[in-house]
Amino acid sequence: MHVTGISYTAVLVAAVASFIFGGIWYGIFARQRMSAANGVERGPRAGGLTPMQFVITFIAQLVMAWMLAGILLHVTRGGIPLTMRNALISAILIWVGFVMTSLAASNALQGTRFSVTLIDGGHWLGVLLIQSAVLVAMAT
């Protein structure tokens, strides 16, 4: 598939989809994450998340989707066709090479349990896979 530029509509949809995924993910894993974080509950149940934190999180998802779209565009201009398979492989490579390495190092230095890294890492893998799928599905 030949892509001529970044679809900002696709970027917005990818950000919204991954933001919703995050709500579902942490809704499912809230107890496990709290237990792994030494019983310190953060988030909506503890009254810990403010509207500004949701805004910042959404903006971060929006920037991530925009950068991912740029990376996928850059890859296609290098001669690799934009397919769902190639986009998902790119998402996995970004996750392994940048997201998980940063998350693991940061959490290790903070003394965070590895299970928190796995829960959060799973979330970010899902985010990148969803965003890649949306961006390819909406590519022109």
Instruction: Find the mean pLDDT for residues 110-127.
Output: 96
Q: Residue 2: pLDDT above 90?
A: no
Name residue, tokens 């949701």.
54
Contacts of residue 115, defined as CB under 8 A and 6 or more positions apart, other chains included, come to 32, 36
**Separation between Cα atoms, residue 14 and residue 126, nearest integer Å:** 12
Contacts of residue 113, defined as CB under 8 A and 6 or more positions apart, other chains included, come to 36, 37, 38
At residue 50, the 3 state secondary structure works out as: coil
Average confidence score pLDDT of the chain: 91
CB 10 within 8 A of CB 69: yes
* Higher per-residue confidence, 49 vs 41: 49
Name residue, tokens 């740029």.
70
The tens digit of pLDDT for each residue in 63-100 reads 999 999 999 999 999 999 999 999 999 999 999 999 99
DSSP secondary structure, 67-118, as one string: HHHHHHHHHHHTT----HHHHHHHHHHHIIIIIIHHHHHHHHHHT--HHHHH
pLDDT of 37? 83
Q: Residue 43: pLDDT above 60?
A: no
Model confidence, pTM: 0.89
Q: Residue 42: pLDDT above 70?
A: no
**How many CB atoms sit inside 10 A of residue 87's CB?**
26
Name residue, tokens 């709290």.
34
- The amino acid sitting at 136 is V
